[in-house]
Structure 1
């Protein structure tokens, strides 16, 4: 995959194509039903390549996921059990595949067993990788928080005075305690959207208002809004609208898979910005809010089940040091 167009596309929704996610509802993809359809789908994942060698798509996916997890910094420290489980499941899947690879049409029951172990390996590898990412980020936030505590309390402003915008503000113990907490969904609940759009569901407005009230009550903190999707792609019509709304994308000749991933990346960013906009409308200064989309790159569950996909479609809000806090000033100055 050409990484440069993906990076460029990450910026595209800021200047074009946002209406794609606000006005067009994507219908759910039809599910395969019946044992014959399931068997056909399974057999279609067996590919014959050069010299008659056979490859099995779930195994390839599991290998890639494990390689990515093993390359992740500190994964052995933070997710050793999940990584070991992924390696064990992949080894079992590989052994099962060796007995089937040379058969013209492997038995479906045996393919199912291999696919199940491959999916388990992939899921555990993804969990290991993103557990490490989360823990590393949390560790950094905790380090910042510990540094704050080591500096001690700042002098409180004079009665009736109000810090000027951009001035270093004293940090209360309550504000310090908040830094590093994931308050959405952990504290205030989920933020959800209409399918395939950045239109927030009415019941999610309460969650955003609660987050806004928290930020207004703690003026030295900020919030990072992260948008995530599952790996399911939109309808072909939605993909076409998305490509049309982002001139230049087609010039990169992306594959269907790359278009889906780009769509999900842009959709997650649009949803994160929708939450940020609602916070601003509820009285939170924009300078205290960051928003970013990760598409389907950071699953917390398997995308093979409806429950897992539901968990992966999420908004996360993490409290971070605000732009006027002492540690933010130190970071900007390189101290």
Structure 2
């Protein structure tokens, strides 16, 4: 494997959520609605159990979330950084709570700190767990998609997927394997160098959402792709500054461009996924992954070819509750 591939793929967990692309799909911390109201809310979540020991509900929720993440298969491969952060935040919350648990009226500021760390632990644990679930499913979905593409010369588009997968609904079965974006609904375009969807592409996302609502037994895999052209030197510098681990590997400019394109494609795929969620599609039915410039469909030597390579693909796949997806998760 080329060094540039190693750098780009090795940094994928680090750069996937880079803010340089102006996208944010991580839920924020609970917003304060007034100091007195918030303090009262924290105190109301302190419960006394039968033996007199005090329990703090945000801390209990964080413990449950971390335990669930630790039990998730392959979380160490796909969500290790988030899980480590969750454990660290939980440890801080535990330590802070130990000094408050036996006090009749805990200090408001310290209680708020414990709550904040507990919420942070919970969020990071949930991100770790669902990242692992998504990535496990995507490995299967990508394999299915590649298999369907290999069969395309032999079968028509309407029947290519008929023998590949069998989701619950007979009507939905016809959709499996279809690349509805861009083939049916058109392209999804972004502002240059960002993960902001252009206004004219919003209709495409809404059409995809309506399709998914009408066919509840299927899911969708969102794949982001770029051409091999790099951004401006200024954008590269901002990107490297936002990802110090990249510079430590002494990359060439080609390596930086490939890493940038990989991160940009992932950010764009996640933006589409987030907008589907905002249009009412459950997140568990959506997978998102970026491939950078590694899967061109045309030559990058021409403007037309590069335009074709800058794309979002949305492929209809078995839904998470279908027998196929369940078998994939269980490994059978």
Shorter-chain TM-score: which interval?
A: 0.5 to 0.7
Match of residue 191 from structure 1:
188
- Aligned equivalent of 1:146, options 155, 159, 163: 163
Any idea what SS the aligned residue of 2:183 has?
A: coil
- Are the equivalent residues in 2 in contact too, given 1:144–1:327 (CA < 8 A)? no
Paired positions, count: 205
The yes-or-no answer on 1:282 pairing with 2:284 is no
The yes-or-no answer on 1:179 pairing with 2:196 is no
Match of residue 309 from structure 2:
312
Any idea what SS the aligned residue of 1:225 has?
A: strand
Q: C-alpha offsets along residues 280-307 of structure 1, whole Å, 9 cap, x if unaligned?
A: 0000000110001011111111111111
- Are the equivalent residues in 1 in contact too, given 2:263–2:292 (CA < 8 A)? yes
Match of residue 9 from structure 2:
7
- Are the equivalent residues in 1 in contact too, given 2:176–2:318 (CA < 8 A)? yes
Any idea what SS the aligned residue of 1:12 has?
A: helix
Give ranges in structure 1 of 5+ residues lacking alignment: 24-132, 150-169
How far is 1:14 from its partner?
A: 3.5
How far is 1:333 from its partner?
A: 2.4
Give ranges in structure 2 of 5+ residues lacking alignment: 24-143, 153-158
CA separation in 1, counterparts of 2:292 and 2:331? 31
Any idea what SS the aligned residue of 1:249 has?
A: helix
CA separation in 1, counterparts of 2:227 and 2:150? 26
How far is 1:245 from its partner?
A: 0.5
Instruction: For 1:40-189, list aligned pairs within 5 A.
Output: 136-138=147-149, 145-146=162-163, 171-189=168-186
Match of residue 333 from structure 1:
330
- Are the equivalent residues in 1 in contact too, given 2:221–2:287 (CA < 8 A)? yes
Q: C-alpha offsets along residues 193-252 of structure 1, whole Å, 9 cap, x if unaligned?
A: 011111100011000000001111111110000001111111111000000011211000
CA separation in 2, counterparts of 1:147 and 1:235? 43
The yes-or-no answer on 1:295 pairing with 2:292 is yes
Any idea what SS the aligned residue of 1:301 has?
A: coil
The yes-or-no answer on 1:200 pairing with 2:197 is yes
Match of residue 118 from structure 1:
none
How far is 1:20 from its partner?
A: 1.1
Match of residue 223 from structure 1:
220
- Are the equivalent residues in 1 in contact too, given 2:223–2:312 (CA < 8 A)? yes
Q: C-alpha offsets along residues 165-190 of structure 1, whole Å, 9 cap, x if unaligned?
A: xxxxx722211110000000001000
CA separation in 2, counterparts of 1:317 and 1:147? 18
Distance 1:246 1:330, change over 3 A: same
CA separation in 2, counterparts of 1:328 and 1:196? 35
- Aligned equivalent of 1:259, options 256, 260, 269: 256
Distance 1:134 1:328, change over 3 A: closer
- Are the equivalent residues in 2 in contact too, given 1:302–1:308 (CA < 8 A)? yes
Match of residue 246 from structure 1:
243
CA separation in 2, counterparts of 1:9 and 1:232? 19
CA RMSD of aligned residues (A): 2.5
Distance 1:195 1:148, change over 3 A: closer
- Are the equivalent residues in 2 in contact too, given 1:13–1:270 (CA < 8 A)? no
Any idea what SS the aligned residue of 2:281 has?
A: coil
How far is 1:326 from its partner?
A: 1.1
Any idea what SS the aligned residue of 1:203 has?
A: helix
Q: C-alpha offsets along residues 27-79 of structure 1, whole Å, 9 cap, x if unaligned?
A: xxxxxxxxxxxxxxxxxxxxxxxxxxxxxxxxxxxxxxxxxxxxxxxxxxxxx
TM-score (norm 1): 0.57
CA separation in 2, counterparts of 1:187 and 1:147? 21
- Are the equivalent residues in 1 in contact too, given 2:261–2:293 (CA < 8 A)? yes
CA separation in 2, counterparts of 1:188 and 1:331? 29
